[in-house]
Structure 1
C-alpha cells in the first residue's frame, strides 16, 4: 500500500532550493516509500533588537486562501503566479508607453491603520525576515505581511523569496497580472502590521527599491509574432505565417510562458533526475542520453488549451486568460529519445502490475522555472505513445524559448503537459499536485461559473478536434494562389505538396494577379471606376485555407466549409503533407495537423450605397467624420462601424469551417454549449464574417470591394478591438480592472 509523503515542502527544503534557484522537487504519494514525518513550522527565536516593536505581533496562524479567491476570474490570484497571464491592453511588443499599473498605496494615512497591529522599521524587516529567514515577510505600500504559511503552496519557488524582507511592488510592476483586487484580498489575510511612519515618504509608501528584472536575459523573438503579454512572453504567429508551411519555423512557433526563460542551463552541465516509486534516483546528462539511447523523431503538433479562446469570448461570454486567436498551435519535427526507454533503463519495472497498474501511476515532469505537470504512466511508456525527451526541433538545436536543452514532447496531448527546461521526472501514484495540473487546465459546464468543483473534473490530456480559417481571398483578390495552381505553398519545404480532392463542385480559379489579398493586407484594391452595383456579382470567387487537428493521434478525415453561415456545405481539399518527400511524418500515429484548402463561389448579397458621397452638405460629427475618412481610404478596420451610420447597413456573409476525425468526432456548433469561464477547449465551428462595400473611387465613381479587415488572431482586427473593448468594460463594471 502506498504511503503518503506530505505535499508541502519543509522550510529547509524551500530555502535550499531558493538558494540554488531551481524549483522545489515535487512530493507525492509514492509506491513503496518510507513515510516522512510532517514538520511543524519552525518557531521564531526571540530576538533582542532595538527596532523590535514594543507590542508583539498577534499569534501566527495558518492562513490558506480559499479556493474561491484563488480561482476567481480564472486567475490563480497569488503573489507570483503567472500561469494565466491576462492583458486587456493592446497587444503591442513595446509597453513602455503604457501608463503605470502600479497599485495605489494600500494605506496612505496612518490614521486609517488598525490600532491593534504593531509597526515595524524597514531595517528590522530586512534583517530578520529576508530570503533566508524561516519566517519571511513582505511589504506592499505601508503594510507588512507574514507569508510564511503561504510559501509552501506557492509554485514559484524562489521567486516569492526574492521579495522577502522588502516590497513586492517592484515585482508587481514587472508581473502586471498581480494588479487585481483578488490578489490584494488574499494578501490581506497575511497582514501582521504596518511600516513605521519614520520609513514612509510623502506618498505614504516606503522609498522605491530597484530589483533585478528576471526577464532581462530572455531570448529575442521574431517581430512578426503577435504579443499578448510581454513579461512573461506569450505570442502567436500572424495568420499569414501560421500554416504557410507544414512545419512551423522555429522563429514562428507560438510562445507560451508562465515565467522567464531559464538562462543558467547548458548542454552537458545539467542533469536530468529520474525518481522511481521506491525513492531511488537515476541521473542522466544530455550527453549520456544522446550516446546510450536510440535517437527518434516524431512529427507532432502542440496546441495550448486556450487556443481560439478569443473565439469563445466573442461568441459565448467573457473568458479569463490570454485571448489567443487561432495561432496558439504549431507543428514541428521533434528529435530525442523515448521516455519509456529511459524509464526502463532507470529501473522502472514497466510491465510489473499490468496495464491497470500503469493507468493508476503518473509521470511527473518538473521544469527548471518551477512549472510542473504530469501524464498517465501508460501514455509515457507505451511504444505507440511516442513521448520524447527532446533536444532537437525541426533539425536544429532546441531553442531556448522551446525548452533548451531538454523538454518533454507528449504528442496528442495538450501542450501544457510537454514541460520545457526539464530537470526532473517523478513516477508517482497520483498526478502532479501543481495548480497547472489540478486546476488551470480543466474545463467545466457552462453553468458552473468561476468557482467550480475543481477536483471533480479530470485534467485535460488528449485534445478534442478543432479547425480554423487562416486565410481568405475574395473577388479580384483571388489570383493564382500557388496551392490552387498546383505549385505547392511557394516555400522551401512544400513545393510539391499533394492535395487530395474530396470536394464535389470545386474548380480552379485563374484570375489576374492583384496586390490585394483580403484578410492579409490593410488596404483594398483601387475601386473600379464604375457605378456601384446593387448586389455582389453572381458566382463571386473565394478561396480559403486553414488547419484542422485532433488529439490522441486521430487522423483528420474531413473538413466541411460553408460560405453562407451554415445553410449549405461543401468539403475542403486536405493537403497530404506527409506524402511529400520534403516533409515526411514520423511517429506511430497522426500527431500532426492537417492543412486544408478550398475554393468556391459566394452567395449574392445586397450592397449598401457608396459611403459618404461628395454631395453631402451637412458636416458630420467629428467622430463620424473620422470614420468616413477611414472608409473613403478603404481601410477594412472601419467597415464594422458602417452599420452604425444612417443608410449604411452592412450586408455580410459568414464563412464557417468544421472538421471530423477518424473516430467521427466533430466540432460542436456553438461555443455557448461548451462555454467555461477559463476559456479552455474553444473548439466550436470557426466563423469569419466578410462584408462587401461600395467605396467612392477617383472622380466620384464608386466600385465594389470586399473587406474583412487586417487579420488578427482568430478573427480580424475590428472584431479583436471590439472584444478588448467589451472585456475592458466588463472588467471595470465588476471591479476587476487593473
Structure 2
C-alpha cells in the first residue's frame, strides 16, 4: 500500500491548525508558544551556524568511541567525517555511523525490555495500563525481513544554509555527515500491529522512545515520539533489532528501533518502548514545533510535518584537501534521495564552470545511496571547488540553492567542496585528498566494488 504523503500532510496540517488533532502530554498552547519562540530566536540570533571547523568537544551521553579521525562532535551528537567512509563499502560500519541523540543513550536490558502497543485504534481500545506486550524473543520468533536503508537527520547539511547562502538558522550545525546506510533486520510493523488487534478505524500511530525526557526552553516535552500514518506503517516500516548483521548497538537503538525507509531521521524512533495506535490524528512536539518548515516563503503556521527525505551528494574527502597538479586522482562520493534511486551524478572540478558524468557503482534503488567515482587530472594549481549534482529516478536534480527555513531542514542544494591543487614541485608522497600535499603520480587507487546486496 502506498500512501499519498502530500495529501496526508495537507490534511493533518488542517486538523492541527483547527485544533482537531491531539498532542499527547503537551498542551497545544505550550506547543504554539514553543513554535513562536523558535521563530523569535531565529530572528534575534543574528549569528551564523557554527562552522564545521569548530573545535570538537567531548560527546556527552554517547556510548561508543567517537575519535576525531572518524567523527566531529556536535553537542550530544557525533557527525561522521566523510573521509572516514572512503573504501568502507556500501554499508556504513557501525563504528562510523553518525549518532543523533536528543538526550543520552540509555543502557537497556534486552531480556527485560517490552514493547507496549495500545490505543483506540485497536480492538477493545486498550489504554496504556492494558497494552498488548511483546518481548524481544516474541519479535524474533516472527518472520523477519532484511533491508538496506539510509537514516538521515532532517537537518543534515544545515550549516550550508549559512556558509553558502548567508541564511541564519538554528539547530545543530551538521555539514553532510548526519547520514548512514546499514543493513537492518527485524519484523514488519504491520505484522505486530495486526497481532495487537489493529482495526480499520486506526488513523495514526505514535512510537515513543525510552531515552530521558527532552527539556527545552524550561518545558519538558517528554520522551521523543513522532506520529506516523497507519498507511505508511503498513507499507514498509520495520521494528529493527539487528544492524549490519549484529544486535543493535546502544547508540543506534538497542534493543529495538523503528526503521521508516526514506523518511526523515526523527521518524526512526530509537529504543522504542511503546506505540500508541489512535483512531484520531496525533501530534507531538516533534511534528508541531520541530520538523516543519517555518519562515518567509512558508505558510504562517508552518508547513506540514516533514516526511520524505530530500536529495544530496557528498565527496569522500576532507574540505580543504590538497591534490597535486599533473597527477591523476580518483574522486569518490555518494548520493542519495528519499524519492527514489540515483539515476546519474555530474561532477565539476572547476567550481561549476564545466561538468562531467561520474561512474555509478550501485544500481538505482529507493531508500539507499549510490557510490560514484570520477578520475581527475588537474593541470593547473590553485584553489578550486568540487561540486557533485545528483539526479534521482523521480526526476529531481539538486538545485543551486535551497529555499531557507528558520530551523535549517532539508538542505538539498549542490555543496561547494573547497580543495587546493598544489604545483607538482610541492608533491612529496602524501596521500591524495588527505588535506595535505597529494601523492606523486602513480597507479590510480582502486575503485570500490559493486553493490552489496
- Which interval holds the TM-score relative to the shorter structure? 0.7 to 0.9
What SS does structure 1 have at the residue aligned with 2:163? helix
Cα deviation digits, residues 565-615 of structure 1 (max 9, x gap): 22322111111279xxxxxxxxxx62211111111334x54x6xxxxxxxx
Residues 414 and 67 of structure 1: CA distance in aligned 2, closer, same or farther (over 3 Å): closer
- 2:34 & 2:371 partners in 1: Cα distance? 45
Q: Does 1:458 align with 2:304?
A: yes
| Aligned partners of 2:51 and 2:159 also within 8 Å | no
Map 1:426-465 onto structure 2 (within 5 A): 426-429=276-279, 432-444=282-294, 447=297, 453=300, 455-465=301-311
Cα deviation digits, residues 145-191 of structure 1 (max 9, x gap): xxxxxxxxxxxxxxxxxxxxxxxxxxxxx9xxxxxxxxxxxxxxxxx
Residues 296 and 663 of structure 1: CA distance in aligned 2, closer, same or farther (over 3 Å): same
Write 1 or 2 for the structure with the bigger share of strand. 2
The match for 1:686 is 415
What SS does structure 1 have at the residue aligned with 2:343? strand
Determine which of 425, 429, 435 is the counterpart of 1:710: 435
The match for 1:326 is 176
| Aligned partners of 1:87 and 1:228 also within 8 Å | no
Q: TM-score normalized by structure 2?
A: 0.76
What SS does structure 1 have at the residue aligned with 2:174? coil
| Aligned partners of 1:91 and 1:229 also within 8 Å | no
Q: How far is the alpha carbon of 1:239 from its aligned partner?
A: 1.8
Determine which of 223, 226, 232 is the counterpart of 2:71: 226
The match for 2:117 is 274
Map 1:40-119 onto structure 2 (within 5 A): 65=33, 67-73=35-41, 90-94=54-58
The match for 1:404 is 254
- 1:6 & 1:374 partners in 2: Cα distance? 11
Map 1:349-368 onto structure 2 (within 5 A): 349=199, 352=200, 361-368=203-210
Q: How far is the alpha carbon of 1:6 from its aligned partner?
A: 6.7
The match for 2:376 is 600
Q: How far is the alpha carbon of 1:236 from its aligned partner?
A: 1.6
| Aligned partners of 2:169 and 2:405 also within 8 Å | yes
| Aligned partners of 2:312 and 2:390 also within 8 Å | yes
Cα deviation digits, residues 317-360 of structure 1 (max 9, x gap): 232211112211101011110000111111113xx37xxxx7xx
Determine which of 632, 644, 654 is the counterpart of 2:385: 654
Map 1:493-512 onto structure 2 (within 5 A): none
The match for 1:469 is 315
- 2:159 & 2:253 partners in 1: Cα distance? 26
Cα deviation digits, residues 488-523 of structure 1 (max 9, x gap): xxxxxxxxxxxxxxxxxxxxxxxxxxxxxx838xxx
Q: Does 1:590 align with 2:340?
A: no
The match for 2:193 is 343
| Aligned partners of 1:408 and 1:422 also within 8 Å | yes
Q: How many residues align?
A: 391
Residues 308 and 388 of structure 1: CA distance in aligned 2, closer, same or farther (over 3 Å): same
Residues 275 and 412 of structure 1: CA distance in aligned 2, closer, same or farther (over 3 Å): same
| Aligned partners of 1:443 and 1:681 also within 8 Å | no
Root mean square deviation, CA, Å: 3.6
Map 1:279-678 onto structure 2 (within 5 A): 279-280=125-126, 281-291=131-141, 293-317=142-166, 318-349=168-199, 352=200, 361-369=203-211, 370-382=223-235, 386-429=236-279, 432-444=282-294, 447=297, 453=300, 455-471=301-317, 519=321, 541-552=328-339, 554-576=340-362, 590-602=366-378, 605=380, 651-671=382-402, 674-678=403-407
- 2:182 & 2:269 partners in 1: Cα distance? 16
| Aligned partners of 1:469 and 1:544 also within 8 Å | yes
| Aligned partners of 1:472 and 1:544 also within 8 Å | no
Extract unaligned runs of 5+ from structure 2. Answer: 1-14, 212-222, 437-453
Residues 466 and 65 of structure 1: CA distance in aligned 2, closer, same or farther (over 3 Å): closer
Residues 431 and 447 of structure 1: CA distance in aligned 2, closer, same or farther (over 3 Å): same
- 1:438 & 1:362 partners in 2: Cα distance? 15
The match for 2:103 is 259
What SS does structure 2 have at the residue aligned with 1:560? strand
Cα deviation digits, residues 379-414 of structure 1 (max 9, x gap): 1002xxx21101111111100001111110001111
Extract unaligned runs of 5+ from structure 1. Answer: 10-25, 29-61, 78-84, 96-173, 175-214, 474-517, 526-535, 579-588, 608-650, 696-701, 712-738
What SS does structure 1 have at the residue aligned with 2:289? helix
Residues 590 and 65 of structure 1: CA distance in aligned 2, closer, same or farther (over 3 Å): closer
| Aligned partners of 2:295 and 2:302 also within 8 Å | no
| Aligned partners of 1:691 and 1:708 also within 8 Å | no
- 1:269 & 1:675 partners in 2: Cα distance? 45
- 1:565 & 1:87 partners in 2: Cα distance? 21
- 1:344 & 1:63 partners in 2: Cα distance? 32
- 2:85 & 2:433 partners in 1: Cα distance? 18
Cα deviation digits, residues 227-269 of structure 1 (max 9, x gap): 3334xx2012222223532111111110000001122x21121
Which of the pair has the greater relative contact order for Cα pairs under 8 Å at 6+ separation? 2
- 1:64 & 1:439 partners in 2: Cα distance? 7
Q: How far is the alpha carbon of 1:5 from its aligned partner?
A: 9.2
Q: How far is the alpha carbon of 1:652 from its aligned partner?
A: 2.9
Q: How far is the alpha carbon of 1:277 from its aligned partner?
A: 2.3
Residues 703 and 402 of structure 1: CA distance in aligned 2, closer, same or farther (over 3 Å): closer
Residues 241 and 6 of structure 1: CA distance in aligned 2, closer, same or farther (over 3 Å): closer
- Which of 1 and 2 has greater Rg? 1
